[in-house]
Structure 1
Amino acid sequence: MSTVRFAGRFKGKVLVVTGAAQGIGRAVALRAAKEGGKVVFVDRADFLAEVAAEARGDETAAFHADLETYEGAEAAMRFAAETFGGIDILINNVGGAIRMRPYAQFEPQQIDAEIRRSLMPTLYGCHAVLPHLFARGGGTIVNVSSNATRGIHRVPYSAAKGGVNAITQSLAMELAERNIRVVATAPGGTEAPSRRVPRNAAGDTPEETAWMADVVRQVTQSGFMKRYGSIDEQAAPILFLASEEASFITGTVLPVAGGDLG
């Protein structure tokens, strides 16, 4: 599939992209840099600088942070503002289901871990960036949610992403008068290269592998197009919403899932 590029679409803009070391976040950050943006790649992966270097420019920077903590989010935003003189766009991409299992099989600490992974980085990131957007006189926040708000074997993750949708809609209403747009995409199943950092560091049990196969079947069958999307098919709408082309869109959660609204 050919990918349309918009040269200069982010010229003069400072973007912070979280979860930028791999997957959708990596694609978004690299493409934003190609389109003229000054991009801060934020992640806790030890190979982050290697990814940021792929942009081949002096207007990108890498910052290691644990965004499951408020301190990490605040430090990342401060670094971006100090490095490039401010922040115009935040793309909150950190998140992802750790385990796939029926809800009755989740242990309490596993529930907590899913919420920390997929809700708190967005909640913290939105709060930590606001002083910088206020100083700029406006800006845009794009949250990466999921259509898994309706799906099997990941109820805690679904709850977290439902929270991301609520943040998006409520914060958009609150901040419109400050010239700040808050929007989100809700990706469906996405084909991606093998993760260099696994979603579940402990590894999947045979049962979890079987439950994951159930999820793949459900995701594929729930969409009209009966397939997974590509990384480019997810990056493109995120960057559209981040750009001035979407200047009259706020409070919207855009499903990007082949017809499955979640």
Structure 2
Amino acid sequence: MTEPVSPQRFRDKVAVVTGAAQGIGLAVARRLVAESASVVLVDRSELVHEVAGELRENGGQAHGVIADLEQFAGAEAAMAEARQQHGRIDVLINNVGGTIWMRPYEHYDADKIQAEVQRSLFPTLWTCRAVLPYLIEQRSGTIVNVSSTATRGINRVPYAAAKGGVNALTASLAMETAQYGIRIAAAAPGGTEAPPRRIARGPDGATEREKAWNRQVVDQTEDSALMKRYGTPEEQAAAILFLASDEASYITGTVLPVAGGDLG
């Protein structure tokens, strides 16, 4: 379990983490549990139950929910289950998303463009809408959306557009909901090293041309970071948990780049 900054920082808080079966979402869930949150892990993979079980074995309070968050019905059902399990939702971390294909824009067909936006914008739109009635009723709550500094990058234009939408959603929804005591913020990760994915995000780049396009993204990402390296899931989780915590009580409508100096 991840070493906590403050073991009691999320005591008595209920946190929902989407895309929690692996990668940044898993790092966030582990750290929330380590800092005493009751965590609901949402993913469309059965793997989420295994992860929740491991967290419980380590003494954490964790519950897994399977849902397809690319559909509003899935988001609505997941938020309803979290509310039913715990009676409230204090924190929502919207982590679902990620580039499926990397290529110059002229090589995306219409289906790929739509799939990228469906993957990286709609889950956040849907879950924000699904959780909002609960937070308004409570007159409290925090949403942290996971964006990306790839909003200014190469070979991922549809993904960049989707994450730009996440940034706009964050700013606009923060303006609407501050009157209810709700905060909405976003973290924008840069390149992040992670263990090999247990669930493939999309088809592997099998051709030499596809491998070259992928390499261009890696090179540009490293070059754009002042620190000239990729981050770790734990470094991303640290920033996300700060924004989710009461330590960030005067922060809303803000996108925080977490990218080694790349502002996106």
- TM-score, scaled relative to structure 2: 0.96
Partner of 1:178: 180
| Counterpart code for 2:61 | E
Structure 2 unmatched ranges of 5 or more: none
Cα contact 1:100–1:153 (8 A) shared by 2: yes
Cα contact 2:3–2:31 (8 A) shared by 1: no
Distance 1:27 1:58, change over 3 A: closer
Partner of 1:232: 234
| Counterpart code for 1:41 | L
**Does 2:163 align with 1:156?**
no
Post-superposition shift, 1:3?
5.5
User: What root-mean-square deviation, in Å, do the aligned CA atoms of Structure 1 and Structure 2 show?
Assistant: 1.1
Partner of 1:81: 83
Partner of 1:46: 46
Partner of 2:11: 11
Cα contact 1:23–1:231 (8 A) shared by 2: yes
Cα contact 2:145–2:185 (8 A) shared by 1: yes
**How far apart are the structure 2 equivalents of 1:48 and 1:170?**
31
Partner of 2:205: 204
Partner of 2:92: 90
Cα contact 1:181–1:249 (8 A) shared by 2: yes
Partner of 1:166: 168
**How far apart are the structure 2 equivalents of 1:36 and 1:252?**
26
Cα contact 2:121–2:162 (8 A) shared by 1: yes
**How far apart are the structure 1 equivalents of 2:85 and 2:36?**
16
- TM-score, scaled relative to structure 1: 0.97
* Count of equivalent residues: 260
Cα contact 1:34–1:55 (8 A) shared by 2: no
Cα contact 1:30–1:52 (8 A) shared by 2: no
Cα contact 1:3–1:232 (8 A) shared by 2: no
**How far apart are the structure 1 equivalents of 2:78 and 2:222?**
36
**How far apart are the structure 2 equivalents of 1:9 and 1:19?**
22
Distance 1:14 1:4, change over 3 A: closer
Post-superposition shift, 1:176?
0.5
Cα contact 1:92–1:141 (8 A) shared by 2: yes
Structure 1 unmatched ranges of 5 or more: none
Post-superposition shift, 1:47?
1.2
**How far apart are the structure 1 equivalents of 2:3 and 2:65?**
28
Post-superposition shift, 1:203?
2.5
Partner of 2:22: 22
Distance 1:44 1:252, change over 3 A: same
Partner of 2:219: 217
Deviations 1:151-177 (A, max 9, x none): 000000000000000000000011101
Partner of 2:252: 250
Deviations 1:46-78 (A, max 9, x none): 211111112124621000000000000000000
| Counterpart code for 2:263 | L
Deviations 1:13-40 (A, max 9, x none): 1100000000000010111011111100
Secondary structure, counterpart of 1:54 in structure 2: helix
